[in-house]
């Protein structure tokens, strides 16, 4: 198995007591009629894509910190179930609004509706997408911005704008996934994208004015490919990652795994009348076989002058992206230096008896429970804190509310994989270089004094990382003693693991 690269999103979800202050906030309501439309964003292949209210690309959604969000989801697809997830939102007290099918809810079948109703108390750059199987790369994903009246960098920019990068496939996900996890693909080679997009097009332009400073919010809404991003002739000053403000850090290039976000300031030249290329380049090291016809790059332009040409991007020799481990959160939150509970998740790719390749944590591959985990929490009474009730294809851990929890992720695979934690962000305390093998707690690791926090992190090939978070988002669905919440770890396609918590009782982490 030379390069079995599977793209993982690990998700942890937790539920907290209801009753957030609803004070000053506005209620913002959106009706989402989710249905098929036609799209051809790279100009190479028109295809069916999943649109909202008859449109694709999907709308950028703007909110202000404190708002109540109502999304009335109507499944008009006719032939597929669906769901909605709001990536990076803690859903503190509204765990049942988080969206992952099999964890906090059932699928919304064709012809049915579901209302998502929650408040947004965290500023930053997020995104929304279907959390039904591998559906979102068929188009069902967009940006979700929570504006902050108290943004600490408020005075330092003139305007803000948001855009995305992503990979793009000409074929629909159901067929790609069937071929992916199949005895005909025993190495688990992921489907290689057909092209790259910037803000869902290949001719993206941003009109800019000389001398102004812009706050750009960039999200990788792709399925699989990490992206290198740079702007010719301009430097970026990073001020936000995954909704967490950082001390400003300057760079020429960033790398975004799928689901990661960067917010950065860019100051325009004082006197330019020519335009500048912005480039996003898919990380080809993820692709087992790179088709000779693939263009991994997409170019967009900072337009100082709409009548001037759009320059072709200059090739660069090597990618040297900013190391996100050097970021320091703006709030200076110090390292959680006392860990109450630590456990390992050992990731590997291997074949099961059907000859197909699967992802495993601790030798267990995920099977979506028929009964969503959250419902099991709600219906198993005293047993809710016993890991076993969440099913045999899970890998459960019981956490105490308030504990500082450490997860060590050991990558026993030769590919890079991003992981995402639902319900919290986490301190990124350690990440080993490629080829380091498993984490050894006895080694003399030096941890950052104030580690970067984010909600999505990549592990290096045959490397490891350690993250820490406070388990402060447990659930209370009723004012009774028994208060569930769910912590979910979800691998995007072939594997997943979940964790469940019951109020002040333990959180259990289940892994399939």
Does 100 interact with ligand NAG (rule: CB under 6 A)?
A: no
Tokens representing 159 are 């305007």
Among 161, 253, 364, 367, binds ligand NAG (CB under 6 A): 161
Closest approach of ligand NAG to the CB of residue 282, in Å: 9
SS3 at position 313 = coil
Asked if 443 and 464 touch (Cβ cutoff 8 Å), the reply is no
Q: What sign for the dihedral angle of Cα 127, 130, 135, 141?
A: negative
Per-residue contact string for residues 254-283; x = within reach of ligand NAG by CB under 6 A: ---------------xxx---------x--
Q: Which is nearer to ligand NAG, 12 or 377 (CB)?
A: 12
Q: Which residue is nearest to ligand NAG (CB)?
A: 48
SS3 at position 25 = coil
Does 433 interact with ligand NAG (rule: CB under 6 A)?
A: no
Does 472 interact with ligand NAG (rule: CB under 6 A)?
A: yes
Q: Which is nearer to ligand NAG, 115 or 326 (CB)?
A: 115
Tokens representing 437 are 């093998």
Please tell me the count of residues contacting ligand NAG according to CB under 6 A.
45
Does 424 interact with ligand NAG (rule: CB under 6 A)?
A: yes
Beta strands in 320-425 (DSSP E): 341-351, 357-361, 398-399, 404-411, 417-420
Q: Which is nearer to ligand NAG, 212 or 383 (CB)?
A: 212
Among 136, 157, 163, 168, binds ligand NAG (CB under 6 A): 163
Q: What are phi and psi of 450, to 5 degrees?
A: -135, 85
CA distances from 230 to 183, 267, 302, 365 (A): 39, 14, 12, 37
Q: Which is nearer to ligand NAG, 12 or 389 (CB)?
A: 12
What residues numbered 11-50 form the site for ligand NAG, per CB under 6 A?
16, 36, 41-43, 48
The b-or-e profile of 181-219 (16+ CB within 10 A means b, else e) is beeebeebbbbbbbbbbbbbbbebbbebeeeeebbbbbb
Does 342 interact with ligand NAG (rule: CB under 6 A)?
A: no
| Rounded Cα gap, residues 212 and 378, in angstroms | 53
By the criterion CB under 6 A, which residues form the site for ligand NAG? Answer: 16, 36, 41-43, 48, 57, 59-60, 62, 70, 79-80, 90, 92, 115, 117, 145, 160-163, 172, 174, 199, 201-203, 206, 217, 269-271, 281, 295-297, 315-316, 424, 440, 442-443, 472-473
């Amino acid at each position: 198995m030379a390069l079995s690269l599977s793209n993982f999103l690990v998700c942890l979800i937790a539920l907290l007591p209801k009753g957030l202050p609803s004070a000053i906030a506005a209620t913002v309501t959106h009706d989402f009629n989710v249905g098929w439309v036609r799209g051809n964003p790279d100009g190479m292949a028109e295809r069916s894509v999943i649109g909202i209210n008859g449109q694709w690309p999907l709308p950028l959604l703007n909110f202000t910190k404190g708002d109540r969000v109502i999304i009335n989801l109507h499944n008009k697809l006719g032939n597929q179930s669906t769901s909605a997830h709001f990536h990076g939102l803690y859903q503190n007290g509204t765990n049942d609004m988080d969206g992952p099918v099999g964890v906090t809810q059932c699928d919304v079948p064709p012809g049915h509706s579901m209302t998502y109703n929650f408040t947004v108390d965290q500023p930053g750059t997020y995104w929304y997408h279907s959390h039904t199987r591998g559906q979102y790369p068929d188009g069902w994903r967009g940006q979700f911005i929570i504006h902050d009246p108290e943004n600490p960098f408020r005075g330092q920019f003139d305007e803000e704008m948001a855009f995305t990068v992503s990979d793009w496939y000409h074929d629909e996900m159901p067929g790609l996934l069937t071929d992916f996890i199949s005895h005909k693909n025993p190495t688990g080679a992921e489907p290689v994208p057909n092209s790259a997009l910037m803000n869902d097009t290949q001719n993206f332009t941003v009109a800019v004015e000389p001398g102004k400073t812009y706050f750009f919010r960039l999200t990788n809404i792709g399925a699989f490919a990490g992206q290198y991003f740079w702007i010719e002739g301009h430097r970026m000053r990073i001020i936000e990652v995954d909704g967490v403000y950082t001390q400003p850090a300057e760079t020429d290039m960033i790398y975004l795994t799928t689901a990661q976000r960067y917010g950065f300031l860019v100051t325009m030249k004082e006197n330019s009348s020519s335009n500048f290329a912005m480039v996003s380049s898919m990380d080809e090291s993820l692709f087992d076989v790179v088709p000779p016809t693939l263009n991994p790059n997409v170019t967009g332009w900072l337009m100082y002058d709409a009548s001037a040409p759009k320059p072709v991007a200059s090739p660069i020799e090597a990618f040297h992206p900013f190391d996100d481990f050097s970021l320091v959160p703006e709030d200076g939150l110090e390292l959680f230096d006392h860990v109450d509970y630590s456990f390992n998740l050992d990731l590997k790719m291997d074949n099961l008896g059907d000859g197909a390749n699967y992802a495993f944590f601790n030798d267990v591959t995920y099977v979506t429970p028929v009964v969503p985990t959250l419902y099991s929490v709600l219906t198993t009474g005293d047993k809710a804190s016993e890991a076993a009730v969440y099913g045999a294809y899970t890998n459960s851990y019981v956490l105490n509310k308030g504990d500082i929890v450490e997860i060590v992720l050991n990558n026993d695979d030769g590919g890079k994989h991003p992981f995402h934690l639902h319900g919290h962000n986490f301190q990124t305390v350690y990440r080993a270089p490629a080829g380091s093998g498993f984490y050894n707690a006895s080694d003399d690791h030096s941890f950052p004094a104030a580690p970067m926090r984010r909600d999505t992190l990549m592990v290096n090939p045959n490397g490891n990382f350690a993250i820490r978070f406070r388990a402060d988002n447990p659930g209370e669905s009723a004012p009774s003693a028994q208060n569930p919440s769910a912590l979910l770890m979800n691998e995007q396609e072939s594997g997943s693991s979940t964790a469940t918590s019951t109020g002040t009782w333990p959180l259990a982490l289940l892994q399939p």
